[in-house]
A and B are shown apart, each in its own frame.
Chain A
Amino acid sequence: MVSELDVVPAITTRREEALTGLQGLVSKGLGWARKYSIFQYPFVTACCGMEYMTVSAARYDLDRFGAMLPRFSPRQADMLMVVGTVNCKQAPILRRIYEQIAEPKWVVAFGVCASSGGFYDNYATVQGIDRIVPVDVYIPGCPPRPEQVIDGIMLLQRKIQDQAHRLVEPRPLPPSGAHEG
């Protein structure tokens, strides 16, 4: 877990990791498929939820981007959208929800509180969820305009397209008992 957290979350395209040849074609196809079927888990904690409702309702309609089918079980989702302030009491819950989402998974920090703690620099608030979970896209704003959210989603889609996808992940199984989080 520590090594995963030590990766600096930044908006980077992973072209250097991209596969070549047939694998590259498969990766592009999988990326295309995955970026237009983002099932998201909304972790809504605060006033940004109002803007989240706007952006997922008919007027702005993120369904147009294939990205806005909220699943209220983390096991069915592949994008964690953290909307609002996360305080220290909620941090273990957020961490557990992130761990329950199956790979591949992405995290979006919606709003300035989720991104950096916002103006809640006090005894109770986590100063940005990237201290707890790795974040792919940060959407600033207090709360962000729906256009900003759409821009962030499109940025995430571009990132997903550029990532290396494999049909079978060559990751070895973790040794038994190594679930310490």
Chain B
Amino acid sequence: MSKAVIAALLERFPDAVTDAYEGVGGDDCAFVAKERIVEVCRHLREVERFDLAPYITAVDYLGMEPRFEVVYNLVSIPRSARVRLRVKVPEGDGCSVPSVTGVWRGADWFERYCYDMYGIRFSGHPDLRRLFMYDEFVGHPLRKDYPLRGRQPLVPERQVDENLRGPGPATRD
């Protein structure tokens, strides 16, 4: 349905939008260069009438290069169409994406979520804090190299020696 949108994007941003394909659910997807994401999103919002960004999330492809990916799921209510944009983000100093909060205000918490869970920074975000975890939390729990049971309790916890339960505050793996 939104193949025309992707085709128009490829035509308009030939150096920023690449590798278009049709995803599993039928959504049309494309990869976008990291530096051009705000420009592409603003074009989608203002010209193509994609007025909702209902879910912006990230993926950690541990072991691949670049390691992270930020996924923008966009919806156009007047056109009843969906588009998915993927932005590859490297690890380290370049682990930062331009924020699209200027395009959709609702992207605010999604970007805070990505920062909280994956440690991806969003340059230009008005208030980049953790969304779910507490400020004392060290690390980013949805990264593949974060230990699954890496609990960081805020109050002292009593140890319970039972084999049917998790180990409590101490990390087991």
Using a CB–CB cutoff of 8 Å, the interface residues on chain A facing chain B are 1-2, 5-6, 88-89, 91-92, 95, 116-117, 121-128, 130-132
Contacts and interface: CB of A to CB of B under 8 A. Distances in A.
A132 B157 CA distance: 5
B149 interface: yes
Given A122-B149, A131-B168, A92 B160 contact: no
B166 A124 contact: no
Interface stretch (B23-31, B44-52, B65-73, B140-148): B140-148
A174 to B, nearest CB: 19
Interface size class of B (residues with CB under 8 A): 20 to 34
B25 to A, nearest CB: 27
B148, B152, B166: which has the most chain A beta carbons within 10 Å?
B166
A126 to B, nearest CB: 7
B63 interface: no
A88 B160 contact: no
Contacts of B157: 91, 126, 131-132
Given A117-B165, A127-B167, A131-B168, A92 B150 contact: no
Nearest to B152: A88
Contacts of A123: 141, 146-152
Given A89-B133, A117-B165, A128 B155 contact: no
Interface of B: 132-134, 141, 146-160, 164-169
13 contacts: A5-B158, A89-B154, A95-B155, A121-B165, A122-B149, A123-B148, A124-B132, A124-B133, A126-B151, A127-B160, A127-B168, A128-B165, A132-B155
A130 B165 CA distance: 12
Given A89-B132, A123-B146, 9 more contacts: A5-B158, A88-B134, A91-B157, A123-B141, A123-B148, A124-B133, A127-B165, A131-B169, A132-B158
A122 B171 CA distance: 10
User: Which has the most chain B C-beta neighbours within 10 Å: A2, A5, A95, A128?
Assistant: A128
Contacts of B158: 5-6, 130-132
A131 B146 contact: no
Contact of B155 (A91, A116, A130): A91
**Pairs A-B, 6 closest by C-beta atoms:** A131-B157, A121-B166, A127-B166, A5-B158, A123-B141, A89-B134
Nearest to A90: B154
Contacts of B146: 123
A12 to B, nearest CB: 17
